[in-house]
Amino acid sequence: MKRWIGVILVLTGAICWGVGGTVAQKLFQQYDVDVNWLVSTRLLAAGALLLTIQCVLKDQTQVFRVWQTRQSAGKLLIFGIVGMLAVQYTYMASIKHGNSAVATLLQYLAPAMIILYLFVRRQSPFTGRDFVTVSLALLGCFFLLTNGSLSQLSVPTPAIVWGILSGVALAFYTLYAVPLLKQYDSLVIVGWAMVIGGVALGIIHPPWRVDLAQFEVETYVYLGFVVVFGTMLAFWFYIESLQTLSPKETSLLGSVEPLAAVVTMIVWLHEPFSAFQWLGTACILGMIFIMAWLKEKEVASAEKEKAPCKVS
């Protein structure tokens, strides 16, 4: 029963992430919501909710302990601005100029970017398996963005630029967060990072400088979905699923996020998606599956090496 609960949690979280991107696309394109306002509001509200959950359900002392040393406080500030804010802003900007499906899939190029970064920094060799995953990522990107033709792009250039920057930001986000997540609960780190990112963007684009009178009832409903379901609950459910599922299972099931973004965009928003773009989607999803499988093998191998030898 616990495993089934974990499966339900990770699937729900991933679907909420994917659908949340499509809902944001509707807010941008049909309700003319400003991307700066949505990002700052989303980060501030979701971050506050995550920190509240930490205080109510988990170790509340960690919420402020992270600020007690200069080292952790400095890293958290960098993570909040260069990591969290950069990921959220570039992703939302890519959606605004293009669509949620392409933005989500381009963001999922981050694993391939991490492989190349570690190779260039000589921190990890470039193996045959790495070649396969990077090739799938590049091939998927080609089909997704060109629709199989070199003569023209099927996606607006600003959407591509913001989407690739979103993948770069997610790669940094993933690598930089590791030391902090080893010391503090993930809800604390991500919650504060969201608040920091929201405040930083709010200084430049104050969230209260918006004409709420122009918002319709549907606008508030969609905004609430993006904040609560597409951000706060999505992350919380994903983290909670790790309590009963292995990292491989969570990563594989979590890969339904880009699929959810594609399907909801086509069915709900009636956006066109060609056969070549479906092929590109399949290549990127294949890369995600392979990465998750290889990660699980590394974890299992490491645990086997650490296990004490059995003496007969």
Span 77-113, pLDDT tens digits: 999 999 999 999 999 999 999 999 899 989 888 878 8
Instruction: Note down the domain range covering 254.
Output: 2-292
**What is the tally of structural domains in the chain?**
1
Q: Under 8 Å CB-to-CB from 312, ≥6 apart: which residues?
A: none
Segment 265-291 shows an average pLDDT of: 86
Asked whether residue 306 is assigned to any structural domain, the reply reads no
Q: What share of the chain is helix, strand, coil (3-state, %, to 5)?
A: 80, 0, 20
Cβ–Cβ < 8 Å for 238, 251: no
Residue 243: C-alpha distances to residues 187, 249, 279, 286 (Å)? 14, 12, 34, 25
Instruction: State yes or no: pLDDT of 265 exceeds 70.
Output: yes
Instruction: State yes or no: pLDDT of 251 exceeds 70.
Output: no
Asked whether residue 299 is assigned to any structural domain, the reply reads no
Asked whether residue 117 is assigned to any structural domain, the reply reads yes
pLDDT score at 38: 94
Segment 264-292 shows an average pLDDT of: 85
pLDDT digits (tens, 9 = 90+) for 108-128: 888 788 888 888 887 778 788
Asked whether residue 298 is assigned to any structural domain, the reply reads no
- 195-228 per-residue burial string, b: 16 or more CB within 10 A, e: under 16: bbbbbbbbeeeebeebeeeeeeeebeebbebbbb
Closest CA to 92 of 261, 237, 251, 268: 261
Cβ–Cβ < 8 Å for 226, 49: no
Cβ–Cβ < 8 Å for 55, 63: yes
Asked whether residue 304 is assigned to any structural domain, the reply reads no
Asked whether residue 215 is assigned to any structural domain, the reply reads yes
pTM: 0.84
Cβ–Cβ < 8 Å for 15, 258: no
